[in-house]
Chain A
Amino acid sequence: MVISCWVILLGDSDLTSQFFFQSDLFSLSPEQLELQELAKSFTAKEITPNAAHHDRTGEYPTEILKKAWEVGLLNTHVPEAYGGLGLGVLDCSLISEEMAYGCSGIQTAAEANGLAEAPVIIGASDALKKKYLGRMTEEPLMCAYCVTEPIAGSDVAGIATKAVKKGNSWSITGNKMWITNGGKANWYFVLAKTDPNANAGKAFTGFIVDGNAPGITVGKKELNMGQRCSDTRGISFEDVEVSDENRIGDVGKGFQLAMGAFDTTRPLVASAAVGVARRAYEEALKYAIERKTMGKAIAEHQAISFMLADMAMGVEAARGLVWKTSWQRDNGERNTLLASMAKAVASEVANKNAADAVQIFGGNGFNSEYPVEKLMRDAKIFMIYEGTSQIQRLIISRSLIDAAKKGNF
């Protein structure tokens, strides 16, 4: 309440237009409802009908992403100064949930832009932002976040890609793996080790690397269990020359940059998981009221209806967490703890709901002519990327125990 009054009193149109502000956590503002409606109708028309095709063929959804860009659904965080809308996390979570409801493979390709852009928005110079964020709003380009390596995923501090200073530029050498949009990116956010002797908090620096820089080898498109149309690849850097101007923030500040980005991106990945969870639940519900066994619709059998109840509970609970952590971030509060919780809960609900949906569909559920087996294959990655469920628990438990030791419960 207090904060919303502050915004109105200032009458600062830039501030109010920066994100759709509302003081009540549990209801959306008229603009957010419109935003959500746009995402919903776009998804229903452009994404959902084409999802099975892209899953079957693995074809990258170029046309769909281009249309989404035209309508304004991509690069939503980019601040207004660089041609973007500067939407808040809650606003973006509405979009992510709706798009993932249609197809989380297509949504992940779109979201990867936000992931790469996040550390740039947090820590890059104005000139760098103009150059690399500006172009994203001028043309339908893709970008990628390059941190994970074959030898280090959860153990970010263990990454080995190094950046060595040579005069006014850096030379980057190393291998990255599982890079979403790896084969489509116009530029990469790369985390590299700049000081082999320092501890994790000081050893890494973030860079923007042009996609066409000499020395970059893009690996083959990986064939994954799910989100199959998303372009995932290994990328290797061999003495790739990067100007010092492309360094994001101070040397040694890369780790914080990469981690800080998660406060924005984890809630969004979580909201996508909510979209998948909701899709699984709704498909199962629709099926259960039509399919008959033993003389009645299977929804009338408690075994099924209780499963449906659990699925609905999961969706609401997960979304509640997502909205709360998003709201915290939009209000300038520390949201790391709840972002981890939201990601862990939502990803696990998505997996449970998808598996239960297949179960409710029975034999049909196992078959590719019905939409739910894809959901089960797509859901698995949510427990792995953007911080595994195990890492999330590490973050959460450390936070709780540290607080408890200080007397805060």
Chain B
Amino acid sequence: MGILVPIKRVVDYAVKIRVANGRVDTAAAKHSMNPFCEIAVEAALRLKEARAANQIVAVSVGGAKAVEVLRTALALGADKAVHVDTGDAESVPLGVAKYLKAIVDKEKPDLVILGKQAIDDDANQTGQMLAGLLDWPQATFASKIDKLMAGLETIKMQTPAIITADLRLNEPRYATLPNIMKAKKKPIEKTSPKELGVDFTGKLVTLTVEEPAKRAGGVKVESVDELISKLKEKGVIA
């Protein structure tokens, strides 16, 4: 069985996001593989180690730097990587799903495992859209994969199928140093929307990004009566 694992390069989860000019300021921020994608890769690796799969292909849709996370996937144990180079274009779930469909048509995997969502847009759509485009069964928010059982809702599917990985699915491994070195020899194929024959123009436009309202200081009250009168004052209770 071959597994395809789409992965995304995102701002590292530990970075404190700043908003500037109505956009998220990612210029100097550290980037890494989306944590849910790491869990998806780990799931694929465990299936391969259990001999339930024999090939893992990692794919990433994005600009030139997407290759960084592909290299990490190779160092973790993926056999091959594919980079769909979209240059500066912003990634939107439907577009990514369409490119992934073209990759699926090419690579013909039996299983596609994705992270449930990316931590930058929190869209939680790509896996589902891909399943729709391919007309494949899907098991989303999987917290256990065992001969195609998923989550607390037990789903049985026949391959080919889509799984999106939830947080509790597994604890990702480190890429060991020897594997980082071996990854240098593993191939990273490059392709583009044009080569895949997919013509997609996103219809989503980001109007503005705002930080959540800063937490205002609280007020201490001396008695229950004062609490009730203050709540009434603020219009919280009638």
A65-96: which have CB < 8 Å to B? 70-73, 76, 85
Q: With A17-B181, A17-B184, A85-B181 as given contacts, are A34 and B176 in contact (CB-CB < 8 Å)? A: no
Determine how close the nearest CB of chain B comes to the CB of A361; give it in whole angstroms.
Answer: 22
Q: Is the CB–CB distance between B174 and A34 below 8 Å?
A: no
Contact in complex: A71, B71 (CB < 8 Å)? no
Chain B residues numbered 100-148 whose CB sits less than 8 Å from any CB in chain A: none
Least Cβ–Cβ distance between B61 and chain A, in angstroms: 20
Contact residues in A for B178 (Cβ distance below 8 Å): 72, 85
A41 / chain B contacts, CB cutoff of 8 Å: 174
Mask, B156-188, CB within 8 Å of A = 1, is 000000000000000000111111110011000
* Band of interface residues on A: 10 to 19
A295 contacts partner chain B, Cβ-Cβ < 8 Å = no
Looking at the assembled complex, report how far the CB atom of B185 sits from the nearest CB atom of chain A, in whole angstroms.
8
Interface string of B38-80 (1 = CB under 8 A from A): 0000000000000000000000000000001001100100000
Partner of B184, one of A31, A72, A85: A31
In whole angstroms, what is the CA distance A73 to B180 when docked?
12
Whether B176 contacts A35 by the Cβ 8 Å rule is no
Q: Which of B12-54 contact A (CB under 8 A)?
A: 32
CB atoms of B174 and A38 under 8 A apart:
yes
Asked if A71 contacts B176 (CB within 8 A), the reply is yes
| Nearest CB on B from A64, distance (A) | 13
Across the interface, do B181 and A38 meet the contact criterion of CB distance under 8 Å?
no
Q: How far in angstroms is the closest Cβ of chain B from A80?
A: 9
DSSP class of B's interface residues: helix, strand, loop or mixed?
A: helix
Contact B180 A38 (CB under 8 A): yes
Contacts of A72 in B (CB 8 A): 176-180
**Complex CA–CA separation, A37 to B72 (angstroms):** 10
In the complex, what's the smallest C-beta–C-beta distance from B118 to chain A, in angstroms? 20
- A38-B175 in contact given A17-B181, A31-B180 (Cβ < 8 Å): yes
Most A CB contacts (10 A, CB to CB) among B68, B177, B185 go to: B177
Cβ B177 vs Cβ A73 within 8 A: yes
Q: Does A11 contact B (CB under 8 A)?
A: no
Given known pairs A17-B181, A17-B184, A34-B75, the reply for A70 and B68 (CB within 8 Å) is no
A30 touches B177 (CB 8 A): no
CA distance in complex: A72, B174 (Å):
10
Give the residues in chain A near B184, CB-CB below 8 Å: 17, 31
Contact of A30 among B71, B179, B185 (CB under 8 A): B71
Query: Distance in Å from the Cβ of A17 to the closest Cβ of chain B?
Result: 6
Chain B residue contacts of A101, Cβ below 8 A: none
Q: Which of B75, B174, B178 has the most CB of A within 10 A?
A: B174
Contacts of B185 in A (CB 8 A): 13
Question: Are B177 and A85 interface neighbours, CB within 8 A?
Answer: yes
Q: Which of A17, A38, A41 has the most CB of B within 10 A?
A: A38
Cα distance A71–B71 when bound, in Å? 17
| A188 CB–B CB distance under 8 Å | no
Q: Find the A residue at minimum CB distance from B178.
A: A72
Query: How far does the alpha carbon of A1 sit from the alpha carbon of B32 in the complex, in Å?
Result: 30
Task: Write out, one digit per residue, whether chain A residues 25-37 have a CB within 8 A of any chain B CB (1) or not (0).
Answer: 0000011001101
A-B CB contact pairs (8 Å), 30 listed? A13-B185, A17-B184, A30-B68, A30-B71, A31-B180, A31-B181, A31-B184, A34-B71, A34-B72, A34-B175, A34-B180, A35-B180, A37-B32, A38-B174, A38-B175, A38-B176, A38-B180, A41-B174, A70-B176, A71-B174, A71-B176, A71-B177, A72-B176, A72-B178, A72-B180, A73-B177, A76-B177, A85-B177, A85-B178, A85-B181
Q: Which residues of B contact A (CB under 8 A)?
A: 32, 68, 71-72, 75, 174-181, 184-185
The 5 closest A-B pairs by CB, nearest first: A72-B177, A72-B176, A71-B174, A71-B176, A34-B180
